[in-house]
Amino acid sequence: MRYTTIKKEHQLNEEIRDKEVRLIGETGEQLGIVSSREALSIAEDRGLDLVKISPNANPPVCKIMNYGKYLFEQNKKAKEAKKNQKVIEIKEVWLSMTIDVGDLQVKAKQAHKFLTGGNKVKVSIRMRGRQMAHAEMGVDVMNRFFDLVKEVGTMEKKPLTEGRNIWMMLVPKQA
């Protein structure tokens, strides 16, 4: 039986060229040290594959198994692990330096929703024209914004000025 998969990490059947191998049966019992030719004939008699599972051992360890079923189980486990993984997205909220209180509260409500959903929030301000000379006003707007969302989030990065932008990163508070 030949199997072609995405990634082949084991030597199978005729690919095993060692003189002798330590053989393990399909139920896990030790069958002793035998020649690789003999191990292959035992596996073929049972209708299964001979798989080298520990090539660095002396002698190498081979197991008799249904390799297709083994690969299927491994792929199934990998998919299950991927499905249970929590993906954290970074949501972004844009503010302006001249934002009014009502608009700031609307943006804070939006960030509140993102943080309670378990996402990180990047808060950004783009400075235009003469606003570049008053970057401290932008940092002040950021701090007022943080005061509105501090019950659900913590500041991972303090307000940072980079060129025309001021930004900070908020993360959800741990329960």
Q: Which CATH number does the domain housing residue 126 bear?
A: 3.30.110.10
Q: State which residues form the domain around 20.
A: 11-82
Residue 163 has pLDDT above 90, yes or no: no
Segment 107-129 mean pLDDT: 91
Q: Where does a domain end: 32, 64, 82?
A: 82
Query: In the prediction, which pLDDT does 95 show?
Result: 92
In angstroms, the CA 152 to CA 118 distance is 10
- Whether residues 94 and 152 share a domain: the answer is yes
pLDDT at 4 (0 to 100)? 47
CB atoms under 10 Å from CB of 175, counted, come to 3
Q: How many C-alpha atoms does 159 have within 13 Å on its Cβ side?
A: 19
Q: Are residues 34 and 102 in the same domain?
A: no
Residues 6+ apart with CB under 8 A from 38: none
Asked if pLDDT for residue 113 goes beyond 90, the answer is: yes
Query: Would you say residue 163 lies in a domain?
Result: yes
Lowest mean pLDDT, pick from 76-85, 94-103, 110-119, 134-143: 76-85
Residue that finishes a domain, picked among 41, 60, 82: 82
Pair (110, 42) in one structural domain: no
